[in-house]
Structure 1
Amino acid sequence: MTLLSVRDLTAGYGGAQALSGVTLEVGAGEVVALMGRNGMGKTTTIRAICRMMPSGGTMVFDGTDLATLPSHRAARLGIGLVPEGRRCFAPLTVAENLAAAARPGPWDVAAIRGLFPRLGDRMGQVAGTLSGGEQQMLAIGRALATNPRLLILDEATEGLAPLVRTEIRAAIRRLKSETGLAILIVDKSLVELREVADRAVVLERGRDVWTGGLDALDAATADRLLGV
């Protein structure tokens, strides 16, 4: 069943056109990678889906037209965002960050601590004093605390130490294997995405130019579209 359907999405900043027609789908329980070189429209696509900027085209989430909604109502439909740069509430403790986002559902504090044991040891610690990796875990935990049906991860492992990247990748694999959560994930690492993604959508200059299973993404196409 299709959970999120995006058709001919357009968006821009001032007079600059950032998206010129992006089409993608995410099914219930599916993990879809959104890929492309820097500046090709990945974060803009996510901002538009989450209703954080004006856009054109069609976006439907579980039968509801997202284009008519403000961002807080889109979130309440079940869209949880882990933004690029983490953006935790720095003056609040870990526990307070989770409580601020909490909505009823299976992802309570105990479940989040089970996914990220490090956070369990830091519940009383102010978020601004956490390491970068711990802040990223908190950002993911905070999104899960909203009990979403679609989790959007924008560069969830960017700039983190290898050990922390491994922990976060393991958590994403658990989310895929143990829950029915749909995930839209932005990342640059083909090796890491092949472990979790069912499909990929590649953007170039604000358009989707390739869609399919990552096993079908050959080296020549990857080099041309991703520069890897």
Structure 2
Amino acid sequence: MSLLELNGITAAYGPTQALFGVDLALEQGEVCALMGRNGMGKSSTIKVICRMLRHGEGAVRFDGRDIGGLPSFRAAQAGIGLVPEGRRCFAPLTVHENLIAAARPGAWDEARVTALFPRLGERRDQAAGSLSGGEQQMLAIGRALMTNPKLLLLDEATEGLAPVVRQEIWAAVAQLKRDSGLALLVVDKSLAELRRIADHAVILERGRSVWAGPMPALDAQVADTFLGV
């Protein structure tokens, strides 16, 4: 049984339908790249998994349980950690306060987070709003890890960052795959980086799953057809 399963998911924002049939499966310890051009339903799929957006048809199962009726805070308590697009740190709070605000018991504590991202340790007492964009992204990842999730969702975690900072984030994601045992669902536009860390990919086109398979099978023809790269 997969850790996460989405079967035939549809979802809408009021009268505007966003998802028309999304299928996805992810095992513990795997990394799945959720891909597609802009506006194809990736963030909406993330919101459905986190229960921030109700789905219509289909089923969402996590850790052997149907979570379709859960509110978002219960999904987080069940073990789903989100690194949202746009970072969304608590700007007036310090790095330390941001981390402990979300903390739950488990292997991930402040010491382990700052070992992954030493800059956070150096800026422990600094307000999050005064950090650079890259440092805020590290804080957003660290905050999600402090919830001690079974599944970590990264929604455009490298968007808008300088190349050197992007490489730091990708190195941390690779370390998480190698050492943590977490399942990772990663939304990002960098196909080259995703090839290095992802075990398999799901591609969305107009709110539907149109391709799924191991990363080595995502060849230039598939990328050109569905990703425009």
- TM exceeding 0.5: yes
Report the secondary structure of 2:19's partner residue. strand
- Partner in structure 1 of residue 132 of structure 2: 131
Report the secondary structure of 1:67's partner residue. coil
Per mean C-alpha deviation after superposition, the further-off stretch among 112-121 and 56-65 is 56-65
Report the secondary structure of 2:68's partner residue. helix
Q: What is the letter of the counterpart of residue 9 of structure 1?
A: I
Report the secondary structure of 2:97's partner residue. helix
8 Å contact kept, 2:113–2:142: yes
Report the secondary structure of 1:68's partner residue. coil
Q: CA deviation at 1:210?
A: 0.3
- Partner in structure 2 of residue 39 of structure 1: 39
After TM superposition, the score normalised by the length of structure 1 is 0.99
Q: CA deviation at 1:194?
A: 0.7
- 1: CA distance, partners of 2:35 / 2:128: 30
- 1: CA distance, partners of 2:143 / 2:6: 25
- Partner in structure 1 of residue 53 of structure 2: 53
Gaps of 5+ in 1: none
Report the secondary structure of 2:37's partner residue. coil
Q: CA deviation at 1:224?
A: 1.2
- 1: CA distance, partners of 2:221 / 2:201: 16
- 2: CA distance, partners of 1:202 / 1:135: 28
- Partner in structure 2 of residue 80 of structure 1: 81
Q: CA deviation at 1:215?
A: 1.2
1:151-190 Cα deviation digits (max 9, x unpaired): 0000000110011001000000000011110000001111
Does residue 1:6 correspond to 2:16, yes or no?
no
- Partner in structure 2 of residue 103 of structure 1: 104
Runs of 4+ residues over 4 Å off in structure 1: none
- 1: CA distance, partners of 2:111 / 2:71: 31
Percent of aligned positions that are identical = 68
- Partner in structure 1 of residue 141 of structure 2: 140
Q: CA deviation at 1:86?
A: 0.3
Q: CA deviation at 1:209?
A: 0.3
- 2: CA distance, partners of 1:54 / 1:68: 9
